[in-house]
Structures are given as structure tokens and as C-alpha cells.
Chain A
Amino acid sequence: DTEVTQTPKHLVMGMTNKKSLKCEQHMGHRAMYWYKQKAKKPPELMFVYSYEKLSINESVPSRFSPECPNSSLLNLHLHALQPEDSALYLCASSQEEYEQYFGPGTRLTVT
């Protein structure tokens, strides 16, 4: 299984809502990542978990809260988002410093 799955594929939420994005991989990778990608822009790193511990937080606003319940799962909890947070949210995983495998992404729209 060389797949990273993400749910939901699409999400529309209001600025007062609370929602969560989910990511799963069964490749035994020990590093998992969240990226944000705006249209026609490259992915921007948000968070990295290594061995289920948060290792990198790229100064992301606190309205984004990551969680790694176990080595296969990664969540991104969303609360009080702004319209400018609308983007494609990509999850990825890797085995140490090797290539990252990306999931298909969740397209988020904040209204």
C-alpha cells in the first residue's frame, strides 16, 4: 500500500465552525506533514510530525491545530478560520529524509 488518503475531499465551512481534516498512511512512514497550497502557488509547509511528535511548526496561526493520534494518522483541527485560509490542504508522509508521498488533498473553502 503506497497510498496516502485524506478526508474529506472537499469542505465548506463558516468562520465560526469547527472541523477536522484527516490523513492516513499505512506505509510505516515515521514522518507526516501538513502543507497548504493556494491556487497557482507551491505547497507551503505548515507542520511536521516525526515519530508522533511535533517537530516543525512553521509559525502557523493557532486556529490550525495538528494532532497525531498514532503513527498512521494525522489530523488538522480547524477553528475560527478566515476566508483567506481557503486553499488545498495536502498531507504527506515519508520515511526519514526520503521522498514524500502526498495525499490527494482536501479543498477547503471558508465562507
Chain B
Amino acid sequence: GQNIDQPTEMTATEGAIVQINCTYQTSGFNGLFWYQQHAGEAPTFLSYNVLDGLEEKGRFSSFLSRSKGYSYLLLKELQMKDSASYLCAVESGGYQKVTFGTGTKLQVIP
């Protein structure tokens, strides 16, 4: 089976930096996705990590440690529109088989 853990909720201030952690236990790990989902909308892709290390993409960065079963999403210069759920998703047991974590609901406050 798989176990993917994320904090349920986080609150951060506009303009600040926030780090959302994800830990996982799985066999046949291929890669890890981060998706953003606004309430009532479909998830949108943010990042995909296969190798250890940090991937930077504008205000968003994602880190992966395969040996530790750990990833984080770093959001810089927070904006009000970043208030959403952030879903960590593990691809394992073959490509295309993706399991989502429970998601972290981020609230950005002024």
C-alpha cells in the first residue's frame, strides 16, 4: 500500500514564504507531482520531481529526497490568489498510476 502525508491546513501572510511538506511510503516509486486546486476547480500542474534536489519554477520550487521519502513545495512572495489546496501526488508501480495525498489547504492572509 501507499501512505502519503501532508499537513491539513496552513496559514501564511501575503508576501511571505511558505513551505508545504509531503512524506510518503511506497514501493516502485517513479516520481512526485505537486498540483494546485482552487475550491470547485480542477487540479493544475505545478511540478514533477524524479531526481533528488530542488527544481525552481518562478515563485514555486519543489524539492525531493527519494532516500527519505520526502518532498516539499516552496512558495515565495505569496499572493492572495495562492490560497488553494496543494496536493502532493506519488507516481509508483508503473507510469500513470498516481496516488494523491490528502492535500494541504493554504490560506494567505493580508
For chain B, residues 17 to 52, give those with C-beta under 8 angstroms from any C-beta of chain A: 30-31, 33, 41-45, 48
- A45 contacts partner chain B, Cβ-Cβ < 8 Å: yes
Whether A43 touches B43, Cβ cut-off 8 Å, given contacts A31-B96, A48-B97, is yes
User: Could you list 20 examples of A-B contacts with CB < 8 Å?
Assistant: A31-B96, A33-B96, A41-B102, A42-B87, A42-B100, A43-B43, A45-B98, A56-B96, A90-B42, A96-B95, A97-B30, A97-B31, A97-B91, A97-B95, A99-B48, A100-B45, A102-B43, A102-B44, A103-B42, A105-B42
Across the A-B interface, give the 5 residue pairs with the lowest CB-CB distance, nearest first. Answer: A42-B100, A102-B42, A99-B45, A97-B95, A48-B96
CB of A44 within 8 A of CB of B100, answer: yes
A-side interface residues, number (CB < 8 Å): 23
Q: Whole-angstrom distance between the alpha carbons of A50 and B96 in the complex?
A: 9
Give B contacts to A, CB under 8 Å. Answer: 30-31, 33, 41-45, 48, 87, 89, 91, 94-103
Q: A45-B97, A97-B96, A99-B33 are in contact. List 8 more A-B contacts (CB 8 A).
A: A33-B96, A44-B100, A50-B96, A55-B96, A94-B96, A98-B48, A104-B41, A104-B42
Query: In the complex, A98→B30 CA distance in Å?
Result: 11
Taking CB atoms, residues of chain B closer than 8 Å to A48 are 96-97
A97 CA to B94 CA, complexed, in Å = 9
A-B contact count (CB 8 A): 47
Considering the chains assembled together, what is the distance between the CA atoms of A90 and B96 in angstroms?
15
Q: Which residue of A lies closest to B93 (CB)?
A: A56
**Per-residue 0/1 for A89-111: is the Cβ within 8 Å of any B Cβ (1 yes, 0 no)?**
01000101111111111000000
With a cutoff of 8 Å between Cβ atoms, the chain A residues found around residue B95 in the complex are 96-97
Most buried by B among A43, A45, A55, A101: A43
Shortest beta-carbon distance from B46 to chain A in Å: 9
